[in-house]
Amino acid sequence: MILTDRNKPWWFWWAVGVGIGLILVILDRPLIMLINPMSPIPWLDRFFNIYTDIGSWLVGLPCLLLILSSVARLLKPRGVWGYPALSGLAVLGILCMAIHTEGAARIAILLVPPLVLWLGYQISRVDKEWLLWAEKVALCSTISIALGGGFITGEMKKAARRPRPLNPAQHLETRLRGFQEELLTGETSFPSGHSSSAWSLSFPFFLALRRRRKNSQYVFLAIPFMNALSRVYLAVHFPTDVYVGSWLGVLSGYLAFRAVFGPGDGEGEGQSGEGGAARGDTGVVEDAVSPAEPPDGEDPKAEAGGD
């Protein structure tokens, strides 16, 4: 498959990306009318309404736990509670958030952050090579979403000020069906923040698993792709919005991955097991220099003594 071909140069992918982008520019409005159904499809409507907000968390929550685990690992041997100032700030932050909320949200804030912190600490107690590797990939995702899903996307939204599909300026309100109670009709359509965040989080995991030749790598393409599709289905973004947002996430994820793992792309990182072929263990025996055997009938001691 094309995604597993490592011989493609970088400019090939940029050429493919630009080509698809130009096609989407032409087909932008017809595509959103095709993807956004005018007739209700109850199960699909419900799925995309839920998935559009939780899709990124399918990767984001494990990333958060891994980051907390790596922090707790760094704080050893004193342990998390061995740093009173840090622990006090965490507790104070949770209480401040709880004070400014009410009802179910307050209960969630009082329960969820301590649970997440506790889980992160428990994960840090596991000393496995694959877990250390996963924490390193989670660091890539954190850098990536801060860069692509946060700063760059936000600045581009301010500069572009593109009206959303259901904004009256687009003249599509009679051709599209809105789903959410409070329809998004502002001027923050380009690029899609949900798409850039989902790809920023997922793409480093895709790259890392791809280098380890794991089929599960494609899960980390499917999760952000469905998130991007949901934004068009719900008529809150045009296809070009999610396309550019997705490319921002892919680019920031790639750069963060190379920055953390280096030019080797993390090949062999976190791999342990039988054979150790990915680390080159099998080549040690084959490449080892063995002492030359003397020809038949010759005494190596005698030869050494004659020098």
Average pLDDT on 153-164 reads 92
Structure tokens, 136: 């390193």
Q: How many other C-beta atoms are found inside a 10 Å radius of the C-beta of residue 202? A: 30
* Half-sphere exposure for 176 (CA within 13 Å, toward CB): 30
Residue 68 has pLDDT above 70, yes or no: yes
Residue 125 pLDDT level (bands cut at 50, 70, 90): confident
Q: Are 194 and 231 in contact (CB under 8 A)?
A: yes
- Residue corresponding to tokens 């750069």: 255
How many Cβ atoms from other residues are within 10 Å of residue 211's Cβ?
A: 21
Q: Which amino acid is at 258?
A: R
Peptide bond into 294 cis (omega under 30): no
Length of the chain: 307
Helix H or strand E encompassing 5: none
C-beta atoms surrounding 290 within 10 Å: 6
Residue owning tokens 């080892």: 288
Residue where the block lists tokens 């593109």: 162
* Alpha carbons 269 and 285: distance in angstroms, whole number: 21
Cβ 11 vs Cβ 187: under 8 Å: no
Rounded to an integer, the average pLDDT of 39-62 is: 89
Report d(CA 146, CA 262) in Å as an integer: 19
Out of 69-73, 79-83, 269-273, pick the least confident.
269-273
Give the E-state strand segments of 73-160 in sequence order. none
Question: Rounded to whole angstroms, how far apart are CA atoms 236 and 256?
Answer: 29
Residues 196-247: tens digit of each pLDDT: 999 999 999 999 998 887 788 899 999 999 999 999 999 999 999 999 999 9
Distance from C-alpha of 84 to C-alpha of 54, rounded to nearest angstrom: 34
Tell me the DSSP string of 224-252.
Answer: HHHHHHHHHHTTSS-HHHHHHHHHHHHHH
Span 246-282, pLDDT tens digits: 999 999 999 999 999 877 644 444 444 433 444 444 4
- Most confident range (mean pLDDT) of 19-28, 127-136, 212-221 is 19-28
- Tell me: pLDDT of 57 over 90: no
pLDDT of residue 12: 85
More confident residue, 19 or 111: 19
Token pair belonging to 224: 């952000």
Tell me how far apart the alpha carbons of residues 118 and 104 are, in angstroms, rounded to a whole number.
Answer: 21
pLDDT at 65 over 50: yes
Neighbours of 74 (CB within 10 A): 8
- How high is the pLDDT of residue 77? 67
Give residue 134's pLDDT: 92
Q: Measured at the alpha carbon of residue 119, what is the angle toward residues 117 and 122, in degrees to the nearest 5?
A: 110
More confident of the two residues 142 and 149: 142
Q: Give the integer Cα–Cα distance in Å for 162 and 165.
A: 9
Please, what is the average pLDDT of the chain? 80
Tell whether the model's pLDDT for residue 48 goes beyond 50: yes
More confident residue, 279 or 163: 163
Q: Are 72 and 131 in contact (CB under 8 A)?
A: no
